[in-house]
Amino acid sequence: MDYRQSGVDIDAGHEVVRRIRDLAKGTFTPAVLSEIGSFGGLFGLDASRYRSPVLVSSADGVGTKLRVAFMTGRHDTIGVDLVNHCVNDILVQGAEPLFFLDYLATGRLAPDVAVQVVEGLAKACRENACALLGGETAEMPGFYAAGEYDLAGFIVGIVERERLIDGRTIRPGDRLIGIPSSGLHTNGYSLARRIVFDQLGLRVDTYLAEVGSFLGEELLRPHRSYLPLLRPMVGEGTLKGLAHITGGGITDNLPRVLPEGTAARVDRATWKPLPIFEYLQNRGDVPDEDMFRTFNMGVGMILVVAAGDAERVNGRLHDAGEPGAAVIGEIVAGDRAVQYA
């Protein structure tokens, strides 16, 4: 018996590397010093551009949204989800991305699927000016079901120490500005799948009239990156805090950026949740509390700014092409929790 007979096809792995090499190279910045296929990725940081640089890192996955990709046979958006999620996670501390690495594990390597995934990774890396520095493709027979894989990512970014956004200056009276999400992003899919597939018996090609799209299309809507929109404001000192609304929803994520002695009061009447959230709540009979702790409810990023800056910042967001941005609440005295009005 040889390795191929045991379930690992080394030639397929080499084929994947060959096909994704140009995709990754298309994301390279002048700081990348290595080629795809090296044992480690080399990145030459030009420290002279910074006075006191701080590296910011994050690792994440896309959860059970992968199951929807398996069901539709579409794999080119999952990579976009992963990169943008990680970019947003370091953006909340004021960092811009430098490079990204991915980990793709599967039972039997399908080169066409792997290339689709990397196409999405490369697309998002280019859009965020982030180098796809390298990664790992693991073939693990007997560990994953046929046609399934798992995907994770690791990002490193940089910010000047004096420009770190850490929430320390947040005070009662500050305002909350919400920026719309593009959909579910990458969270709440276990509940969403339970409702639409298990409870309602729908298919990915079912058209949802209430939502205005096919179910698979809606559930695969890519996670949005807020870096292009917020880059001009980061480092100005106007943004006191940023909260990326992911797993845990507004309820659990907004308190993560609040200092002791403060809480957030959110006015739910200031925005209308996307139709997909109303559909899931109505058809699944999901309580409000669970909706706001599971999904982003149409708000993907929340900015904390001084009361005197709120109108100006909101106007800048509108001028930058984000008409859905709105003041959705304020900071009050409290114990680092969200109060809904």
Residue ranges of domains in the chain: 10-163, 175-340
Domain 175-340 annotated CATH 3.30.70.260: no
Of all residues in the chain, what percent carry a pLDDT higher than 70?
Answer: 96
Lowest mean pLDDT segment, chosen from 143-147, 171-175, 330-334: 143-147
Confidence bin at 35 (pLDDT 50/70/90): confident
Residue 92 is predicted with a pLDDT of 98
Mean of per-residue pLDDT scores for the chain: 94
Residue 38 is predicted with a pLDDT of 83
Mean pLDDT within 42-50: 92
CA dist 185 and 189 (Å) reads: 9
Convert the pLDDT of each residue in 214-260 to its tens digit. Answer: 999 999 999 999 999 999 999 898 999 999 999 999 999 999 999 99
Convert the pLDDT of each residue in 297-327 to its tens digit. Answer: 999 999 999 999 999 999 999 999 999 999 9
**Confidence check: pLDDT of 125 > 70:** yes
**Confidence check: pLDDT of 5 > 70:** no
Mean pLDDT within 329-337: 96
**Confidence check: pLDDT of 155 > 90:** yes
| 274's tokens | 């996307």
CA distances to 13, 48, 59, 119 from 82, in Å? 22, 31, 9, 12
Q: What are the φ and ψ backbone dihedral angles of 99, each rounded to 5 degrees?
A: -150, 165
The three-state DSSP-derived secondary structure of the chain is CCCCCCCCCHHHHHHHHHHHHHHHHCCCCCCECCCCCCCCCCECCCHHHCCCEEEEEEEEECCCHHHHHHHHCCCCCHHHHHHHHHHHHHHCCCCEEEEEEEEEEECCCCHHHHHHHHHHHHHHHHHCCCEEEEEEEEECCCCCCCCCEEEEEEEEEEEEHHHCCCCCCCCCCCEEEEEECCCCCCCCHHHHHHHHHHHCCCCCCCEECCCCEEHHHHHCCCCCCCHHHHCCCCCCCCCCEEEECCCCHHHHHHHHHCCCCEEEEECHHHCCCCHHHHHHHHHHCCCHHHHHHHCCCCEEEEEEECHHHHHHHHHHHHHCCCCCCEEEEEEEECCCCEEEC
Confidence bin at 19 (pLDDT 50/70/90): confident
Convert the pLDDT of each residue in 277-294 to its tens digit. Answer: 999 999 999 999 999 999
Superfamily of chain region 10-163: PurM-like, N-terminal domain (3.30.1330.10)
**Confidence check: pLDDT of 2 > 60:** no
